[in-house]
Structure 1
Amino acid sequence: MILDGHLPDSIAQAARALRSGALVGLPTETVYGLAADADSDAAVAQVFASKGRPSDHPLIVHVASADALQHFAREVPDFAQALVRAFWPGPLTLILPRRAGVAAAAAGGQDSIGLRCPAHPVAQALLAACAAPPPGERAIAGLAAPSANRFGRVSPTTAQHVQDELGRELLVLDGGACAVGIESTIVDCTRGAPVLLRPGAITRAQIEAVCERKLRLKDDLPDPAPRASGTLESHYAPEAKLRLMDARALQTGLDLLGAEAAHLAVYARTPLKSASSRVLLRRMPDDAEATAQQLFAVLRGFDDAAVRLIWVETPPDTPKWEGVRDRLRRAAA
């Protein structure tokens, strides 16, 4: 069931559902999430079951504001506080030491927890309604909300994507198409220095400028990195096989296949030609942000067209494109 997320009655209905232990499809500025009360192990177990996700693969907990840090985090280093001030609400997840006794299932059993304050107005409205319920109702401090799709598959960026993937019985708040389009940047703050676990819309340079120190990579430090969402080698994968290629290889491949080419989609910045009308040619924007915003919708569209192969022009190896490159590399793994 899809409801208009901008209506107060829809927010109230979704908040009641979450307090009852049900799941809700939640729009954020990155992708749509599958939300549950983060402190309810039973509700969180439904998230893992619905997605087919291993229960030791942690979920990101979404909060209404930085005030919720004290509920979930045992400590917040100075550089993490600076990142919160600079980028919350927004597409940044911080991995922090977890307070004992809270959100254990959502954290995948780890002593750390991923926290994010989303910027989407519908997400903000629902989180506020959960945190400050009507008299006599139970408050919810945060929502565990991984992407609302089957584990390892392409993330949803519209309410219809969620319903197509998880069924009509799920209550989904429609907040329109996601503005960012790829998942949040994840920074590990548990090892004494900021460590990049997953690139996203917020770049390394932006993070380093706020922290006033170099952003480390997960293998730079001797202690093992905590497990985090979206960091498996193979992830974000469409049904069709995806392959990354440069523009010359793409055109050579199309020339070799000629008029007999079929069941193939191509997503490229460079203008390409095919002798076959059965090849789907889709132009990739020259801008990294525009590409991120449409990327998952494009991949889902190719699957809907029943192609068997997706050829994608490898994005530029520059900081602005790092998030898109990461998602495509994992989709092709």
Structure 2
Amino acid sequence: METKQWTVNEIDEAAQVLKEGGLVAFPTETVYGLGANARMSDSVCRVFDVKGRPNDNPLIVHVSSFEQVKDYVDTLHPYAQKLVDTYWPGPLTLVCKVKEGIFAKEVSAGLPTVSFRMPDNEVTLSLLKKAGVPAVGPSANTSGKPSPTTFEHVYHDLQEDIEGILDDGPTKIGVESTVIDISDPEQVPMILRPGAITKEQIKQDLGIEVTYDKHLLEVSETPKSPGMKYKHYAPDTKVLMVKEQDWPAAVKWAKENQLSAGVLAGPIVCDKIRADTAATFAYKDDSIAAATKGLYAGLRALDEAQLPLDVILAAAFPEKDLGVAYMNRLKKAAAQKYFEG
């Protein structure tokens, strides 16, 4: 099929396609999502097929208001309203226990919980309102690959497989939302997937103590949140994480082993070693915010470089605040492997 590129002036057409069961990729502040009517099993199943995504990996449902969520959920957590008032629309996904029979069974992978998010993107909020249906929205890419942060990334992966892409330029944050489990009103909220909204930020803003889920899922278990079980965010090219003090040794190792190496790092590192490597992708600046925004775009750019690379050397950051989300994605892209000189 021909995949259409819809502009912001063509939302009505995109909304009608979404409502009727077609697949519509849409922009958010995090990454581009692959939208499907969350109430239509055939439509949701196509999402799994197109992405090549395992069907025991649950999907996040995107809504245009918290009032919708209230209609779907049995009992809300005491902190739910506070979290929504502070962070919605925004990069926070809430896992809640839902009433039976509302969503296609494939959405929750058989669990009694569903994850909800209200994205901070006016174009997509308008799309959802006009469609009048909740929409699943996993990242609009081939499963396991770096998530898409531009129209071009989506088109590269899914052209001719979906009805269309609603284009609103590059995303602002660059990694997926924070997922927090509030499905049990009597339990402390737990972060299942780190994102732009951090544990420290929630405590500072709301005085709420939350925990990180350190649980490693067994093969037989169904994850409550995307990104917990399977390999994610990985290009075809091998990735090694490099600590700040190890850059000279990493570049020397690549040269001595005649490896074509690409570098993904801030401008300071890239400027120093550009002449000794095959390709570089420099973040906009040396901050963790710039690194997080540019991570997926950088992995894609180096993986698809004209000169094939043997390895991508990617800058590691301290695992604090936003660095937790950045390193969570980078570790999965690198299969947990650091350069070891």
Scaled by the length of structure 2, the TM-score of the pair is 0.87
Identity %: 33
Q: Which residue of 2 aligns with 1:197?
A: 192
Could you tell me which residue of structure 2 aligns to residue 112 of structure 1? 113
- Contact 1:156–1:297 at 8 Å: present in 2 too? yes
Secondary structure of 2:296's partner? helix
Q: Which residue of 2 aligns with 1:135?
A: none
Q: Is 1:261–1:278's contact at 8 Å kept on the other side of the alignment?
A: no
CA offset at residue 259 of structure 1? 8.0
Residue number among 313, 318, 323 corresponding to 1:316 in the alignment: 318
Q: Which moved more, 1:32-41 or 1:267-276?
A: 267-276
Q: Distance in 2 between matches of 1:325 and 1:11?
A: 35
What is the aligned partner in structure 2 of residue 55 from structure 1? 55
Tell me the alpha carbon deviations over residues 95-122 of structure 1, each in whole angstroms, 9 at most, x when there is no partner. 0001111222211111000000001111
How far apart are the structure 2 equivalents of 1:166 and 1:317?
A: 33
Q: Do the aligned residues in 2 keep the contact of 1:234 with 1:332 (CA within 8 Å)?
A: no
Aligned to 2:338: none
Asked if the contact 1:181/1:294 (under 8 Å) is kept, the reply is yes
Shift, 1:261, TM fit: 4.3
Counterpart in 1 of 2:170?
177
Aligned equivalent of 1:187, options 180, 185, 189: 180
Q: Which amino acid aligns with 1:152?
A: G
SS in 2 for 1:114: strand
Question: CA 1:91–1:275 in structure 2 vs 1: closer, same or farther (change >3 Å)?
Answer: closer
Deviation at 1:314, TM superposition (A): 1.1
Contact persistence 2:237–2:309 (CA under 8 A): yes
Which residue number in structure 2 is paired with residue 283 of structure 1? 282
Shift of 1:271: 2.5
Write out per-residue CA displacement over residues 42-80 of structure 1, whole angstroms, 9 at most, x where no aligned residue: 110000111111112100000001111123222211212
Query: Is 1:19 equivalent to 2:19 in the alignment?
Result: yes
Deviations 1:246-270 (A, max 9, x none): 1332211212444874431112235
2:54 aligns to what SS in structure 1?
Answer: coil
Aligned pair in 2 of structure 1 residues 256, 291: CA closer, same or farther (>3 Å)?
A: closer
1:244 paired residue among 241, 250, 254: 241
Stretches of structure 1 lacking an aligned partner (at least 5 in a row) = 132-139
Cα RMSD between the aligned structures?
Answer: 2.1
Letter in 2 for 1:310: I
Q: How do 1:1-333 and structure 2 match up within 5 A?
A: 1-7=3-9, 10-103=10-103, 104-131=105-132, 140=133, 142-168=134-160, 170=162, 171-191=164-184, 192-219=187-214, 227-232=224-229, 234-258=231-255, 261-269=258-266, 270-271=268-269, 273-274=272-273, 279-284=278-283, 285-305=285-305, 306-333=308-335
- Conserved 8 A contact 2:95-2:182: yes
Distance 1:226 1:257 in 2: 37
When residues 23 and 307 of structure 1 are mapped into structure 2, their CA distance, relative to the original with a 3 A threshold, is same
Q: In the aligned structure 2, how far is the partner of 1:28 from the partner of 1:194?
A: 24
Check 1:316–1:20 CA distance in 2 against 1; reply closer, same or farther (3 A cut).
same
Matched AA of 2:326: V
Equivalents in 2 of 1:19, 1:90: separation in Å? 23
Structure 1 residues 27-51: Cα deviation after superposition (integer angstroms, max 9, x where no partner)? 1110001100011111100001111
The size of the alignment, in residue pairs, is: 319
